[in-house]
Amino acid sequence: MSKLEGQEQFDIEAFRRRVSDGVASTPDPHEPVELNPLARQVAEQFRDENYSPAMLIGQYRLIEFLLMLAVGLATELFFGPSERSLAVRFCIIGAGSALVVLLLQLADAYQIPSIRAPSRTRKRLVGSWLLGIAISVGLLMAADGAPTTTGLILWVFGGAAVLLVERFLIAFGIRNWSRNGIMERRAVIVGGGQPAKELARALERQPDNDIRICGIFDDRGNDRSPEVVAGYPKLGTFAELVEFSRLARIDMLIIALPPTAEDRILQLIRKLWVLPVDIRLAAHANRLRFRPRAYSHVGSVPMFDIFDKPIRDWDSVAKRAFDIFFSLLAIFFLWPIMLGVALAVKFTSPGPILFVQKRHGFNNEIINVLKFRSMYTHLSDPTAKLAVTKGDARVTPVGRFIRKSSLDELPQFFNVLRGNLSLVGPRPHAVQAQTGDRKYVDVVESYFARHRVKPGVTGWAQINGLRGEIDTDEKIRARITYDLDYIENWSLLFDLKILFLTPIRLLNTDNAY
């Protein structure tokens, strides 16, 4: 490695440290900025959910495995030795089908360009299939004998035909989805002028590109940053970008500024890191060349990774499955307690059993969170501007007990099943929640960064003793610190740890009123 290379790598790491140090000490905007009519019109076009290519590829592997398994089992059932057990057939052919998928993966046949153009990968498809067949037949022969010659021919040619036909059908579907905007990564270019033009052109030149550029945002005037760059409109300023990204469900922000403009990039990132998106710094026009591992790529366009979207693609699927399974389990075991609490609330004070409160959810969206009512109806405070304190006269006798024991939170399992809460995550705060006379966002820098993931019924802060009343600035700062630590270190095992520690930590009721 040359001295220059080493210096460049040092500069990247130093910049990332500056980003990490800087974002933790910078306030976020208090209120969303009103979008201009053009930006709002464009954002409305992208409100629908898009389909992640990573999710598609994972499902595609499963489909091809099942197809290969079906072809092999059909051949075995009709042409294999009748004395062979179904369990042996299933295990051997299942292993062979999994091997075919593995070989296709090793042959890069599950890359989006390969799936879109199956004619390029015909040899790899057939070669992987034949090798998988050969190993499966060898295992069957070792078990009880191979299929008949007719069965083997049908298996080899039938499976190959199914693979090829299925690949061409999927390729047609993907091209159609791409045209209709269903399968794409939505991106915004941050920064205008010539750098943005060069970046847009570089992305457009990529074959089978899955990036949809939704527009450009820049603070500079039209004399230095034209209203239209490479055919893409300038939709607004950096202040409007946060609201636009939330509304349009943007996947990636690409900063089109030279890496040497560190101060300006840092100012941008301090505004943008609160969003649940990938943040990249374009490096296509950078004359310096870093180590290959310093880059990620969109096609062949190099990028520096600044921030990654947390809990994405299959991680989000795994977390959702985790939520559904344990929520159903909790409801199954806790329904008698929930019924008892509901009856106690109903017959000890007039009013509804449930209390619905608007709170901040994922991506700063407003969600309705369910709780058992713990206050007298005429004294309830849906805004939570006035926090509940020790001996609060607004709380009913039953409400005091269920708040201390957190039984009032049990209806939130239904929020989890509905999908607007997770079992584990940063606890959702009421929209108007505040400490003293200041909203949390006025107290805590980068408060909205906790909304990059779905909020939870329980969280890392709560099992570390931070539950109940928030009456000082230090308490809300401590909660946010734990919330951000959870987001950065998330794993299913971490969720499991928090989930099983929660009942134990609930025994500490010092701050729960």
Chain segment 350-389, per-residue pLDDT in tens = 989 998 988 989 888 889 999 999 888 888 777 666 667 6
Sequence spans of domains, the chain? 3-46+184-309, 53-179, 314-505
How far lies 197's CA from each of 17, 34, 285, 295, in Å? 29, 27, 11, 21
pLDDT above 90 covers a percentage of the chain that reads 18
> What are the φ and ψ backbone dihedral angles of 395, each rounded to 5 degrees?
-90, 135
Statement: 3-46+184-309 belongs to CATH 2.60.120.200: no
* Higher-scoring residue by pLDDT: 77, 396: 396
pLDDT of residue 5: 39
Token digits of residue 234: 């300038």
Q: What is the 3-state secondary structure (H, E, C) of 381-399?
A: CCCCCCCCCCCCCCECHHH
pLDDT of residue 425: 93
* Helical ranges in 148-290 per DSSP H: 149-179, 193-204, 238-248, 262-272
Average pLDDT value over all residues in the chain: 80
| 487-509 tens-digit pLDDT | 989 999 999 999 999 988 876 66
pLDDT digit string, tens, across residues 91-109: 888 888 888 888 888 887 8
Say yes or no to pLDDT of 156 above 70. Answer: yes
**CB within 8 A of 276, min separation 6: which ones?**
309, 310, 362, 363, 451, 452, 453
Write the single-letter amino acid at 366.
I
pLDDT tens-digit readout, 204-221: 887 767 788 888 998 877
Burial 14-24 (b: 16+ CB within 10 A, else e): ebeeebeeebe
Instruction: Tell me whether residue 338 is exposed, middle or buried, using C-beta atoms within 10 angstroms of its C-beta: 0 to 12, 13 to 18, 19 or more.
Output: middle
Secondary structure (3-state) at 216: strand
Q: Which amino acid is at 16?
A: R
Indicate the Cα dihedral angle 414, 419, 422, 423, nearest 10°: 30
CA distance 167 to 274: 40
- Whether 268 shows a pLDDT value over 60: the answer reads yes
Cα dihedral 381, 384, 390, 392 in deg (nearest 10): -10
Contact between residue 302 and residue 283 where contact means Cβ atoms under 8 Å apart:
yes
Q: What is the pLDDT of residue 10?
A: 36
**Is 24's pLDDT higher than 50?**
no
Nearest residue to 421 via CA among 360, 334, 500: 360
| 492-505 vs 313-348: helix crossing angle, rounded to 10 | 20
